[in-house]
Protein backbone atom coordinates (compact mmCIF):
# COMPACT_ATOMS: atom_id res chain seq x y z
CA UNK A 1 0.00 0.00 0.00
CA UNK A 2 2.80 2.43 0.90
CA UNK A 3 4.50 1.54 -2.35
CA UNK A 4 1.38 2.50 -4.33
CA UNK A 5 1.03 5.81 -2.47
CA UNK A 6 4.74 6.58 -3.01
CA UNK A 7 4.50 5.77 -6.73
CA UNK A 8 1.36 7.88 -7.07
CA UNK A 9 3.08 10.75 -5.25
CA UNK A 10 6.16 10.41 -7.46
CA UNK A 11 3.95 10.44 -10.56
CA UNK A 12 2.24 13.61 -9.35
CA UNK A 13 5.60 15.29 -8.67
CA UNK A 14 6.82 14.37 -12.18
CA UNK A 15 3.62 15.69 -13.71
CA UNK A 16 3.87 19.00 -11.87
CA UNK A 17 7.58 19.34 -12.64
CA UNK A 18 7.08 18.89 -16.39
CA UNK A 19 7.84 22.01 -18.43
CA UNK A 20 4.81 24.17 -19.14
CA UNK A 21 3.59 24.61 -22.71
CA UNK A 22 3.06 28.32 -22.09
CA UNK A 23 5.81 30.61 -23.30
CA UNK A 24 6.27 34.28 -23.91
CA UNK A 25 5.35 35.51 -27.36
CA UNK A 26 8.24 37.00 -29.30
CA UNK A 27 8.65 39.19 -32.34
CA UNK A 28 6.37 41.60 -34.12
CA UNK A 29 3.04 41.06 -35.87
CA UNK A 30 1.36 43.55 -38.21
CA UNK A 31 -2.41 43.11 -38.21
CA UNK A 32 -5.01 44.63 -40.52
CA UNK A 33 -8.43 45.03 -38.92
CA UNK A 34 -11.02 43.94 -41.49
CA UNK A 35 -14.30 43.65 -39.56
CA UNK A 36 -15.64 45.55 -36.54
CA UNK A 37 -18.99 45.02 -34.84
CA UNK A 38 -20.46 47.13 -32.04
CA UNK A 39 -22.63 45.18 -29.59
CA UNK A 40 -25.06 46.93 -27.26
CA UNK A 41 -27.51 45.39 -24.79
CA UNK A 42 -30.95 44.72 -26.22
CA UNK A 43 -30.09 46.32 -29.59
CA UNK A 44 -27.65 43.54 -30.54
CA UNK A 45 -24.61 43.83 -32.81
CA UNK A 46 -24.10 45.82 -35.98
CA UNK A 47 -21.14 46.28 -38.28
CA UNK A 48 -19.41 49.67 -37.87
CA UNK A 49 -16.57 51.48 -39.60
CA UNK A 50 -13.05 51.78 -38.24
CA UNK A 51 -13.61 55.55 -37.94
CA UNK A 52 -16.78 55.05 -35.90
CA UNK A 53 -14.92 52.64 -33.59
CA UNK A 54 -11.92 55.01 -33.44
CA UNK A 55 -9.61 52.18 -34.55
CA UNK A 56 -6.59 52.34 -36.82
CA UNK A 57 -6.74 50.02 -39.83
CA UNK A 58 -3.33 48.51 -38.98
CA UNK A 59 -2.02 47.54 -35.56
CA UNK A 60 1.58 46.60 -34.80
CA UNK A 61 1.97 44.12 -31.94
CA UNK A 62 5.53 44.22 -30.59
CA UNK A 63 5.73 41.32 -28.14
CA UNK A 64 9.38 42.02 -27.27
CA UNK A 65 8.33 45.45 -25.92
CA UNK A 66 4.79 44.39 -24.84
CA UNK A 67 3.28 47.22 -26.87
CA UNK A 68 0.65 47.87 -29.54
CA UNK A 69 1.19 50.76 -31.95
CA UNK A 70 -1.54 52.07 -34.23
CA UNK A 71 -0.61 52.73 -37.84
CA UNK A 72 -3.03 55.16 -39.44
CA UNK A 73 -1.97 57.44 -42.29
CA UNK A 74 -2.51 61.07 -41.44
CA UNK A 75 -2.53 60.50 -37.66
CA UNK A 76 0.15 60.31 -35.05
CA UNK A 77 0.81 56.70 -33.99
CA UNK A 78 -0.67 55.78 -30.62
CA UNK A 79 0.99 53.30 -28.28
CA UNK A 80 -0.71 51.13 -25.67
CA UNK A 81 1.02 48.74 -23.28
CA UNK A 82 0.07 45.08 -23.26
CA UNK A 83 -0.53 43.92 -19.69
CA UNK A 84 -0.58 40.15 -20.29
CA UNK A 85 0.82 38.17 -23.21
CA UNK A 86 1.12 34.39 -23.37
CA UNK A 87 1.74 31.97 -26.19
CA UNK A 88 -0.07 28.67 -25.83
CA UNK A 89 0.69 26.32 -28.68
CA UNK A 90 -0.16 28.11 -31.93
CA UNK A 91 -2.11 30.95 -30.29
CA UNK A 92 -0.88 34.22 -28.79
CA UNK A 93 -3.26 35.52 -26.11
CA UNK A 94 -3.09 39.16 -25.08
CA UNK A 95 -4.84 41.62 -22.76
CA UNK A 96 -4.52 45.29 -21.88
CA UNK A 97 -6.17 48.47 -20.66
CA UNK A 98 -6.87 51.34 -23.07
CA UNK A 99 -5.61 54.88 -22.48
CA UNK A 100 -8.90 56.68 -23.06
CA UNK A 101 -9.81 58.91 -20.09
CA UNK A 102 -13.32 59.71 -21.39
CA UNK A 103 -14.25 56.09 -21.93
CA UNK A 104 -12.04 53.61 -20.03
CA UNK A 105 -11.70 50.31 -21.83
CA UNK A 106 -10.26 46.84 -21.63
CA UNK A 107 -9.15 44.78 -24.61
CA UNK A 108 -8.21 41.18 -25.27
CA UNK A 109 -7.39 39.16 -28.33
CA UNK A 110 -6.00 35.99 -29.82
CA UNK A 111 -3.65 35.69 -32.80
CA UNK A 112 -3.23 32.34 -34.53
CA UNK A 113 0.41 31.87 -35.47
CA UNK A 114 -0.72 29.13 -37.85
CA UNK A 115 -3.38 31.02 -39.86
CA UNK A 116 -2.49 34.65 -39.09
CA UNK A 117 -6.06 35.41 -38.02
CA UNK A 118 -6.74 37.81 -35.15
CA UNK A 119 -9.96 37.97 -33.14
CA UNK A 120 -10.43 40.43 -30.32
CA UNK A 121 -12.73 42.48 -28.22
CA UNK A 122 -12.76 45.96 -26.72
CA UNK A 123 -15.08 46.56 -23.78
CA UNK A 124 -16.33 49.84 -22.33
CA UNK A 125 -19.03 50.49 -19.75
CA UNK A 126 -21.55 51.02 -22.57
CA UNK A 127 -20.70 48.61 -25.37
CA UNK A 128 -18.42 45.92 -26.73
CA UNK A 129 -16.53 46.00 -30.01
CA UNK A 130 -15.76 42.69 -31.67
CA UNK A 131 -13.03 42.75 -34.27
CA UNK A 132 -11.28 40.38 -36.62
CA UNK A 133 -8.51 40.65 -39.14
CA UNK A 134 -5.35 39.20 -40.62
CA UNK A 135 -1.77 39.33 -39.33
CA UNK A 136 1.68 38.69 -40.68
CA UNK A 137 4.76 37.90 -38.64
CA UNK A 138 7.10 40.70 -39.58
CA UNK A 139 10.72 41.59 -39.02
The reported pLDDT for the residue numbered 17 is: 32
How high is the pLDDT of residue 26?
85
Total number of domains constituting the chain? 1
Residue 1 lies in a domain: no
Collapse the DSSP code of 25 into the 3-class scheme (helix H, G, I; strand E, B; otherwise coil) and give the result.
Answer: coil
Give the distance from CA 70 to its chain's centroid.
14
Assigned domain for 10 exists:
no
For residues 135 and 78, the model is more confident at 135
- Which range marks the domain in which residue 73 is found? 21-138
Domain assignment of residue 132, yes or no: yes
Query: Does 12 have pLDDT greater than 50?
Result: no
Q: How many CB atoms within 10 Å of residue 38?
A: 18
**Residue 52 domain flag:** yes
Residue 116 lies in a domain: yes
Measured CA to CA, the distance from residue 139 to residue 27 in angstroms comes to 7
Per-residue pLDDT reduced to its tens digit, 54-111: 889 999 999 999 999 987 777 788 889 999 999 999 999 999 998 777 778 899 999 9
Asked if residue 134 lies in contact with residue 32, where contact means CB atoms within 8 angstroms, the answer is: yes
How many Cα atoms occupy the beta-carbon half-sphere of 50 within 13 Å?
Answer: 14
Asked whether residue 72 is domain-assigned, the answer is: yes
User: Is 57 within a domain?
Assistant: yes
Domain harbouring 26, CATH code: 2.40.160
In a domain? residue 124: yes
Amino acid sequence: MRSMISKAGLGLVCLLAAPATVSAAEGTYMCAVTDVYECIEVAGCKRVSLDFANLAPVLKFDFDKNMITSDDLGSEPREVDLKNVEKKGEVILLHGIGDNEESPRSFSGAISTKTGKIHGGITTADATLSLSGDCVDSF
